Amino acid sequence: MILESVRNIFKIGELRKRILFTFMILGIERIGTHVVTPGIDTAVLAEGFQNLQGTLFGLYDLFAGGAFSKAAVFGLGIMPYISASIIIQLLGAVIPFFQKLQREGEEGRKKIMQYTRYGTLAISAMQAFGVAIFLQSIQLPDGRLAVPAPGLGFQVMTMISMASGTMLIMWLGEQIDGRGIGNGISLIIFIGIIARLPQALIDEYQQFAVGMRGLLGEAILIAIALAIIYAVVLLTQGTRKIPVQYAKRVIGRKVYGGVNTHFPMRVNTAGVMPIIFAQAIMFVPSTIITFLPESDFMLTVQGWFSMDSWFYWIFYGLMIVFFTYFYTAIALNPVEVAENLKKQGGFIPGVRPGKKTSEYLDHILTRITLPSSIFLAIIAIVPAMLAKIGNIPFSLASFFGGTGLLIIVGVALDFLQQVESHLFMRHYDGFMKSGKIRGRRG
């Protein structure tokens, strides 16, 4: 069935061109992650970065697809764009100007996109300057520097190189949106995370080859991985369907409305953002301690915030629960949904339009967010637990949960959903016989 669907893809000229174009753009992006910024000793940099895993720099490197640890021109990845988008989204919740733009439809969306681009350029320039200062500070015990010739010239060159790299990545993502298939920015993050998988599998094979894990242990790992992926798919696809009726309206000789439908409320409205926020905050102490003199107190604090400590797991889980509610409140406003339903002549059976509807939606949202937040917390902690208890290399354990797995599953489902849309439009079967794959929304 799957092979037949793949053959059908290449029978459709437009779809074939879109997919090949998407792969070409992603290939260009991967090439850029290996082009090193001028003025850097890569051997010293690689050795210096060994001590920075588990810090904010390690998290940044994840989203940059390994380009940050190489100080490549694409070293900042797409994170400045994501940061700018989040800032604009948060401003839309509190500043009337951005709220007005959000309501202006396509024209408003274009203006918001333009402001996001300006914000991306400003953020990437500031971050690139900070990265230049950081790179100049890397020095090995034998005195070798990651930047042999530090100074203003190197800082300006790094700012220009990395900021330009980020803007190019953003442009490549927009090209995928327009001429390829799938969400360009999401696919760029996706391919960066997936690029780590071959090395992770090699590390695991080496453990198996030297007898550190037997065939039964590998089978158990595969079973755990499949079970976690299945659970993440359920979380990503899960929705609570709220019945909605639309009143009949007579306009001229035509009758509009009078239909019964439903409003799909996603179980995981916040997506992967709670884990990203919580992980960034949890890495702050480790990052600060890296630049401070060693002491017994500092070593104790570093132990608390180590990814293999119980304190880290519990506090990290609580932070994810908090940020899930926080980001859900920003992403979905029950009052706004209730007002839109009322304007369109829709109502929930048994619930009065207006305030009562918003209270009803808020009650349901609160109830479904709790199990979602707890599940997100568990998924986020699983990699660290497997790395400690199962003695699995963290490079592989990171694919058993956390930010990486949620992004991989979400982007893959979205990509398949768009491919299926093209197949069904031309009367071909998709990847599933019963029903379409519901891709990510929003």
Question: What six digits make up the tokens of 32?
Answer: 């850029």
pLDDT tops 60 at residue 315: yes
Report the C-alpha gap between 247 and 146 in whole angstroms.
69
Amino acid at 315: F
Question: What six digits make up the tokens of 408?
Answer: 């991989």
Q: Which of 9-23, 247-261, 357-371 has the lowest mean pLDDT?
A: 247-261
Q: pLDDT grade, residue 241 (50/70/90)?
A: confident
| pTM of the predicted model as reported, rounded to 2 decimal places | 0.75
Question: How many other C-beta atoms are found inside a 10 Å radius of the C-beta of residue 212?
Answer: 11
Report the C-alpha gap between 140 and 214 in whole angstroms.
38
pLDDT for residue 290: 64
Per the document, the length of the chain is 442
pLDDT tops 80 at residue 167: yes
Helical ranges in 180-272 per DSSP H: 184-194, 197-209, 215-237
pLDDT for residue 156: 92
Using an 8 Å Cβ cutoff, are 293 and 343 in contact? no
What integer is the mean pLDDT of 53-65? Answer: 62
CATH fourth-level superfamily of 197-442: SecY subunit domain (1.10.3370.10)
pLDDT tens column, 243-266: 888 776 666 666 665 677 888 888
Q: Kindly tell me the sign of the dihedral angle through the C-alpha atoms of 24, 26, 27, 28.
A: positive
Query: What b/e string do you get for 327-350 counting C-beta neighbours within 10 Å, with b at 16 or more?
Result: bbbbebbbeebbeebeeeebbbee
As a whole-number percent, the residues of the chain with pLDDT over 70 amount to 86
Q: Which of 162-166, 187-191, 278-282 has the lowest mean pLDDT?
A: 278-282
Amino acid at 250: V
pLDDT for residue 343: 81
Beta strands in 4-119 (DSSP E): none
pLDDT tops 50 at residue 66: yes
pLDDT tops 60 at residue 330: yes
Amino acid at 265: M
Domain ranges of the chain: 21-195, 197-442
Instruction: Name which residue leads in pLDDT, 369 or 246.
Output: 369
Question: Do 197-442 and 21-195 have the same topology in CATH?
Answer: yes
pLDDT for residue 21: 92
**Domain 21-195 has what CATH class?**
mainly alpha
pLDDT tens column, 377-426: 888 888 888 877 777 776 677 777 777 788 888 888 888 888 887 777 76
Question: What six digits make up the tokens of 330?
Answer: 């920003």
Question: How many other C-beta atoms are found inside a 10 Å radius of the C-beta of residue 98?
Answer: 18
